[in-house]
Structure 1
Amino acid sequence: MKGKRLFINSLIILVAIFFAYKTLSYLRIQVDEKKSIEAYSGLETQAFSKGPGSQDGGLDLTKLQAVNPDIFAWIRSQDGAIDYPLVRGGDNDHYLHTGANGERNALGAIFMDYRNGSLEDPFILIYGHMMKNDLMFGSLKSFKTQPRSLEFYLDTGEKTIKTRAVLAGILSGQTILDPRDFSTYEKRLDFYRGLQKEAVYDPGYDLQPQDQIINLVTCTYERANVRLFVLTVVEKA
């Protein structure tokens, strides 16, 4: 009887410790997210504030690069849910937990694959976390039901690239993709057709040889280790 009581008491203590740990972890995440949001809000204020030599409301890339030289553009969605600096690092790991300001950030950053040379590449990969409350690439989950926004804009300070979602699908996280491998239309078409087989959004677009592809990639949780790819095509002027 004494042994049973001791076991129950030990179990209660372990459960209490577990819930205390989960509560503290949750509170820490909330604090980290709040700081992260404030950091991005500060960057946005710097990026689009009117100052000497900058246009009212235009992107001032010089100010952003003074904070972090890895910032090279600004990405936003038509509905405004995505509205962040775009960075490119020396690998694809650094900005998973580092903000665009170069400091640790629970949200990470929106970043282009380090193997992409520029926004002129024929096949581009851009990554971001799927966070709650539609933060970062969280709003992309709408492609699994009804897309909230089909148009995206990448502002370099010199020009704005308009791109439109034409396909979205879920691929294994073990899928190895190097954007440099898609320099030919045949390779891009193979990828497109492969993504169609796993599509969650497919309006039936017919991919063209001249189409420049920009993929927005984020986590998704239907099963273990999978990624949501939102494939967009640049609209030429």
Structure 2
Amino acid sequence: MSKKEKKKAGLGTWLYRLVMLALLCVMIFSGYKVFTIYMEYHKGTVAYDKLAQIAGVGESVDKEEKDLKINWDALTKISKNVKGWIRSKGTVINYPIMQGSDNDYYLHHIMTGEYSRKGSIFIDSNIKNPFNSFLTIVYGHRMLDDSMFNSLGKYFEDEKYYKKHKIIDIYTPEKNYKLEIFGAANVKATNESIYNLNIAEGDVATKEAYINNILSKNELAGYKGTVDVTPDDKIVMLSTCTYDPGDDRIVVWGKLVEKTGDNK
């Protein structure tokens, strides 16, 4: 092998090693990022498990129990911003419902004030009278570990899931409710006709128009057993993201029905 050929071979070996080193660095960095995200998810899960224990609705409580007894005194000592508790039997949805002064804080903070990728389940900050207004919007992340509002996307999968989870429980310090799911759709976060908080309580015509609008987008329309909804009803819209880039959102609508009995 000539001197020139040896030099060329040496350069090729050097470039090969450099590329392999770069790939190794990328793999190490990617692994570190995945591990970091996993640990943050785990930390959030542990924090929510602890909150459930404080609320008296932890693992020791039968998740199929008819109604939960929430320890509101304990929760309000942690944060005055807690407005309720949401549970969907047979799913991981078992979380406090928060409401802040804006719609940013609880995207990445939990009830204790700790930073978390999971954020909180929270009510739109513009709603003055949650669960007593015609429309209450509740947000939550759709986490990759199936937590928070991830399971909302399953309403689109088949009718069996809807039948099994067509009632979601919502508890507040004042009253207990059942949320009777009647619709779901993929919408844009910028769609003001869906995210409409400017409907006056006495404006029956606008309420009817809103109901007709969301029913026209309802992807559960063919399911049997969906409930009817009227302008006299209270609607709760659960909103979460999709995994597609952009401003697409999954929304699930339910009619709020007050339960009888003590909620303490």
Tell me the residue number matched to 1:209: 231
Q: Does the 8 Å contact 2:143/2:149 carry over to 1? A: yes
Larger Rg: 2
Counterpart check, 1:156 vs 2:178 = no
Alpha-carbon distance in 2 for matches of 1:12, 1:131: 34
Alpha-carbon distance in 2 for matches of 1:160, 1:236: 6
Tell me the residue number matched to 1:219: 241
Q: Does the 8 Å contact 2:185/2:251 carry over to 1? A: yes
Q: TM-score of the superposition, structure 2-length normalised?
A: 0.78
Tell me the residue number matched to 1:180: 197
Q: TM-score of the superposition, structure 1-length normalised?
A: 0.86
Q: Does the 8 Å contact 1:143/1:200 carry over to 2? A: no
Tell me the residue number matched to 1:19: 27
Tell me the residue number matched to 1:74: 85
The one-letter amino acid paired with 1:115 is N
- Over residues 18-77 of structure 1, what are the superposed CA-to-partner deviations in whole Å (9 max), with x where a residue is unaligned? 22222111111111111111111111111127xxxxxxx621212111111111211111
Tell me the residue number matched to 1:31: 39
Counterpart check, 1:127 vs 2:149 = no
Tell me the residue number matched to 1:232: 254
- Tell me which moved more, 90-99 or 130-139: 130-139
Q: Secondary structure at the match of 2:219?
A: strand
Alpha-carbon distance in 2 for matches of 1:223, 1:167: 24
Cα RMSD (Å): 2.4
Structure 1 residues without counterparts, runs of 5 or longer: 50-56
Alpha-carbon distance in 2 for matches of 1:153, 1:9: 59
Counterpart check, 1:140 vs 2:152 = yes
Please list every run of at least 4 consecutive aligned residues from structure 1 whose deviation after the TM superposition is greater than 6 angstroms.
none
Q: Does the 8 Å contact 1:215/1:229 carry over to 2? A: yes
Q: Does the 8 Å contact 1:87/1:109 carry over to 2? A: yes
- Over residues 124-180 of structure 1, what are the superposed CA-to-partner deviations in whole Å (9 max), with x where a residue is unaligned? 100001113431111111112123511111111332011111010001133246553
Alpha-carbon distance in 2 for matches of 1:191, 1:125: 14
Check 1:161–1:206 CA distance in 2 against 1; reply closer, same or farther (3 A cut). Answer: closer
Alpha-carbon distance in 1 for matches of 2:14, 2:219: 53
Counterpart check, 1:101 vs 2:108 = no
Taking only the aligned residue pairs, the percentage that are identical comes to 23
Counterpart check, 1:169 vs 2:185 = yes
The one-letter amino acid paired with 2:153 is K
- Tell me which moved more, 182-191 or 95-104: 182-191
Structure 2 residues without counterparts, runs of 5 or longer: 1-7, 58-67, 260-264
- Over residues 198-225 of structure 1, what are the superposed CA-to-partner deviations in whole Å (9 max), with x where a residue is unaligned? 4332246543121211000001135632
Q: Does the 8 Å contact 1:78/1:150 carry over to 2? A: no
Q: Does the 8 Å contact 1:211/1:234 carry over to 2? A: yes
Q: Secondary structure at the match of 1:106?
A: coil
